[in-house]
Amino acid sequence: MEDGQAFFAQGNFAPIGTENDVADLPVRGRIPDGLRGTLFRNGPNPQFPPADPAHHHWFLGDGMVHAFTLRDGKVGWRNRWVRTDKWQAEHAAGRALASGFGGGRALGIPDTGVANTAFAWHAGRLLALEEAHLPWSLDPATLETLGVERFGSLTGPFTAHPKTDPVTGELVFFGYSAGGPLSPAMRWGTLSRTGEVTRDERFPVDYCAMVHDFAVTANHVLFPLMPLTGSLGRAMRGGPVFAWEPDLGGQVGLLRRDAGIASLRWFRAEACYAFHVLNAWEDAGGRVLADVMEFAAPPLFPRADGSPSPREATEGRLTRWTLDPAAGTDAFRRERLDEMSGEFPRCDERRSGLPNRHGVFMGRGHAGDGLPMLDTVVWCDLASGGRARFAVPPGDALSEAVFVPRGAEAPEGDGWLLTVAWRAAEGCSELLVLDTQDVPAGPVATVRLPERIPHGFHGAWVPAAA
């Protein structure tokens, strides 16, 4: 395994091998009365050591779901692997079979992905997501794997980061490599509030790129096509499947939701990269603004010749992109909003696609050893520029913070942040509950887990029905 990927088999990046059900976890402090629902978290947790370590990547591990159910001051926890076709084939064989970004197609394993990245809750379905395949549907109470969710007629790919329109209830999705593996084509579409496919369009692009996230406003969809390219020819020559090629430059596609690909236009960008979008909206002048975590070069992937990008280039920072459809130019403005390196931005999703004041990202405060660890919750007031921070001690790490409103009618940003802490010295994990009214005070409740939770990617909050 290459040095950069070998790290992801060590420490709290290493997988766990158990599935657990614990009804009542120990709590220090007090779970707020209004915090009633389930936090679902997802991440890569390989069932077996990789069949081909030299071509394994952290992003390829089998999805493992963790569910924290909070109600009446108590917390329960359950975790399960997503029983994808790959997982089932390898479980039957008792060893890893598939390797690399090609998955197990050559071995006859259905190419249905690993469902290891994020979640969506839509039309009464809990969807385990990754970017190259359709979602897997799970039972939200038991985490039983129910199967690939096609919403009647969809074929892949389907993003790890669909966006729910809080006004219409639509789910907006997209995918890259839409013409087949590593093809220069993309797609976008919408699902109605009840799960019917209402739009599904495909369009060509200049090159195959890993487009992990996108932005949706009330009227527009924005696609950041940046040159983290996928190349079958390069892979067949022994090079990386995905690699950074900054000389190709970048583009940002913009279309109107009501007009679809007939309205698609491209804005020119210097080569940069954004894995994740905090939020996007339109201002009174019709400009489209998107707050993203921007990198000069993507972390975790080499350049096309196999060499790494400089470390400073792979530090993400909160940046605002402003595109003006009426300006008569293909250029757009980029403005740095925060100097702390970080990742995993989130907002109050009741403001998704609408102007928002508050947001959160996970910062790299005192973790200065070059490891991809995040240790600081950064709660942002984007109107005043204010920041409220909470950090764990050196060596510890935090997962993405998920915002939960204090109530359905609570003002934007008034609620709690839920994050999982890795306590390195003790080798354990804790669920932390922070109050957005006083983030620096630290957690109002700390929940100790009997098993560590490996570093993962994204989470989603689903409120209790009653």
Q: What is the pLDDT of residue 2?
A: 45
Quote the pLDDT of residue 56. 80
Quick one: CA dihedral 232, 233, 236, 238, positive or negative? negative
Residue 79: what pLDDT? 98
Residue 313 phi/psi, 5-degree rounding, is: -70, -20
- Paired tokens of 373: 């660890």
Closest by alpha carbon to 195, among 270, 137, 133?
137
Alpha-carbon gap, residue 321 to 323, rounded angstroms? 7
Residue range 177-207, pLDDT digits in tens: 999 999 999 999 999 999 999 999 999 999 9
- Number of CB atoms found within 10 A of residue 361's CB: 29
Residue 420: its H or E element: strand 415-423
Q: Strand 428-435 and strand 402-405: pairing?
A: unpaired
Can you give the pLDDT at residue 221? Answer: 98
Instruction: Please tell me the number of Cα atoms within 13 Å of 66 on its side-chain side.
Output: 27
- Which sequence spans correspond to the domains of the chain? 3-341
- The list of the chain residues with pLDDT below 70 reads 1-7, 102-103, 367-372, 466
- At 45 the pLDDT is 97
The string over 244-264, giving b where at least 16 C-beta atoms fall within 10 Å of a residue's C-beta and e elsewhere, is bbbebebbbbbbbbeebbeeb
Token duo for residue 165: 């329109």
Q: What is the dihedral of CA 25, 26, 32, 38, to 10 degrees?
A: -20
Instruction: Indicate the SS3 state at residue 435.
Output: strand
The model's pTM: 0.96
Length of the chain counted residue by residue: 466
What's the CA dihedral at 7, 58, 13, 275 to 10 degrees?
110
Number of CB atoms found within 10 A of residue 115's CB: 31
